[in-house]
Amino acid sequence: MQGPWGERAAAGSGGAPEAAPTTGDRRFPCSQCGAFLTFKPGTQVMVCGFCGHENRIEEVEKPGSLRELDFHAWLGRLADQRDIEETRTVKCDACAAEFSFEGDRFSGACPFCGSATVTDTGVNRHIKPSGLLPFGIDRRGAEAAFDRWLRGRWFAPSDLKQRSERRERLSGIYLPYWTYDSATRSTYRGQRGDRYTTMEWVAVRDAKGNVRQVQQPVTRIRWRPAAGQVARDFDDVLVPASESLPVAMVDRLEPWDLQDLRFYRQEYLAGFQAEAYGIDLSAGFDQARVKMDGVIRQDVARAIGGDVQRIDHVETRHADVTFKHVLLPVWIAAYRYRGRPYRFLVNARTGQVQGERPWSWVKITVAAALAALILVIVFALLQDGGIIDQILRGF
């Protein structure tokens, strides 16, 4: 059965991905001049900003062929050193976001709220990503999107543009996500409702206020019990593992082209930051189950059939649960206005934009007052004896 996430792919062996260096060092020196290379969005190369030399990132396997990892097996083996990546991270004192800078730099502005970030939290141990989507849109394209978005905020404070121009530059950051696969079988109980029409005597009131009985068609619903089972295989149910951004804002960045996921290689992170996941593997699956439950209830409603349905109980069993930990690219601008942080996000694959902004209640009040004044004028012109009425009588 085709679902909103497609058919479930065959589960892999559940083996651990290849081990990564434990230093978390993402610096790659240029073979020509020794300066550090950075990944060039929209390409398959790292480029030297000093001499322009390019190093191609070679893929050993085609995109989209990442292995699925066994969920329950991993819950019992998270201490296995082969399956864990160690990176050095910093934590923002203002918004509690935990992320990495490039190389040995561990201070600067937080990309999530624009506050100063000062302290090195040391080595952080977490599940190594299985794959990622590389940046496809460069900084210039993201900045152009931000400026277009900002110019369209009609009810923003007048000084917002000047204040936001003093923000830190747009930051490229990889956000952590979990994807889950699961074969589900659900048992349900409910009621099926079928509409039917019958002629009945009903009381009606005429224009003079008199009440009389007339026969009219009335629609009723005939209910009968329903029970059964539905099954669905879910593939790549996507759950953000970040706690630093509003969930609704992050969700609106979808869809992501997960079919083009690349195997995780640190070369893709050169020149960018990466956030450590704040929602762990188990908690992520709890959120995935909520998404699955919504789809399963739709399946149950279709299975019950009829014109309307009542769902009294659904019990779902999950089997062959697998997962991937992936990184997805976002350009983020954080600025502070009157002490409050505001953020702007760009999906660095599709260009989809989402943003927060302050509101100018002065502009809103003036606009509301003008709208009310226009309504009063129009009403005065249209009412009996008004100017328009007098003009029409003149003809």
What is the per-residue pLDDT for 89? 63
Structure tokens at 260: 């083009």
Helix (H, G, I), strand (E, B) or coil at 171: strand
Strands 120-127, 98-100: parallel, antiparallel or unpaired by DSSP? unpaired
Residue from 322, 14, 7 nearest 182 by CA: 322
Runs of H (alpha helix) within the chain = 71-75, 139-151, 160-165, 247-251, 281-304, 361-382, 387-394
What is the per-residue pLDDT for 20? 35
DSSP state of 4: T
Ramachandran assignment for 277, one of left (phi > 0), alpha (psi -120 to 50 degrees), beta (any other): beta
Q: Is residue 325 within a helix (H) or strand (E), and if so which, with residue range?
A: strand 308-337
Number of alpha carbons in the 13 Å side-chain half-sphere of residue 335: 22
Averaged over successive runs of 10 residues, the pLDDT of the chain (395 residues) comes to 38 37 59 84 87 81 76 73 60 63 50 56 72 92 78 53 52 93 98 94 82 88 97 96 87 92 90 88 95 97 96 97 95 73 85 68 58 70 56 53
Secondary structure, 3-state, 67-106: CCEEHHHHHCCCCCHHHEEEEEEEECCCCCCEEECCCCCC
Largest CA distance in the chain: 97
Q: Is residue 316 within a helix (H) or strand (E), and if so which, with residue range?
A: strand 308-337
Q: What phi and psi, each to the nearest 5 degrees, are found at residue 92?
A: -75, 130
Residue from 323, 149, 352, 307 nearest 238 by CA: 323
